[in-house]
Amino acid sequence: MASLTRFLEKKLRLKVNGKKSAVAAPWLRKFLGYSMTRQKVPRLKVAPESVCRLKGQIKEILRKGRGRAVARVIADLTPLLKGWMEYFRLASVKVTFELLDEWIRRKLRCMLWRQWKTPRTRAKRLMERGIEQVRAYTSAFNGHGPWWNAGAPHMNHAVPVKWFAQQELMSLLTEQRRLIRLS
């Protein structure tokens, strides 16, 4: 790093920002939100820092969404997700998009569980969504928190991926596949 900095500053008369510059393997660095895979033929992927930043923005929208209809929260999420996907359309590693899709759906299920508030209401809503009565009451009175319940099988059955598609929640993986076909 020192010899590169010296060359750039002395010979080329360029300024080097020490905070942003480093010498490392491509998969350890990020550039404009992208990173590389550690394979013989490297592929572009979304940098972990970019994923964390997106999750922070989504959390902020969901925090504002308490007490509002899920459809309204999804409408608020859509522009953010579309813009993010448009920017990261070149990423070819799909695992990030799959994990983000799962995480977003779980956050929305968690929001629903919180909105249902009482165990009786939760049991009633679960039964409305096709869960049998015994399982609905067992699930509603289980004593676990919203995040645990959002990932539990009873919520996955009551609020499936198909339901989110009907509510027009954009799937990042589907959008990525669509953008790749257009390229």
> Does residue 112 form part of some domain?
yes
pLDDT per position in the chain (183 positions), as tens? Answer: 788 888 888 888 888 887 777 776 666 667 778 888 888 888 889 999 999 999 999 999 999 877 889 999 999 999 999 999 999 988 888 899 999 999 999 999 999 999 999 999 999 999 999 999 999 999 999 999 999 999 999 999 999 999 999 999 999 999 988 887 886
> Does residue 15 form part of some domain?
no
Q: How many domains does the chain have?
A: 1
| Residues paired with residue 45 on neighbouring β-strands, in sequence order | 35
> Does residue 94 form part of some domain?
yes
Which residue in 48, 50, 44 sits closest to 92, CA to CA?
44
| Residue 101: domain span | 49-182
CA of residue 36 relative to chain centroid, distance = 19
Report the predicted TM-score, pTM, of the whole model to 2 decimal places: 0.84
Using an 8 Å Cβ cutoff, are 33 and 13 in contact?
no
> Does residue 113 form part of some domain?
yes
Instruction: Return the number of other C-beta atoms located less than 10 Å from residue 146's C-beta.
Output: 16
Calpha distance 175→86 (Å, rounded) = 9
> Does residue 160 form part of some domain?
yes
> Does residue 172 form part of some domain?
yes
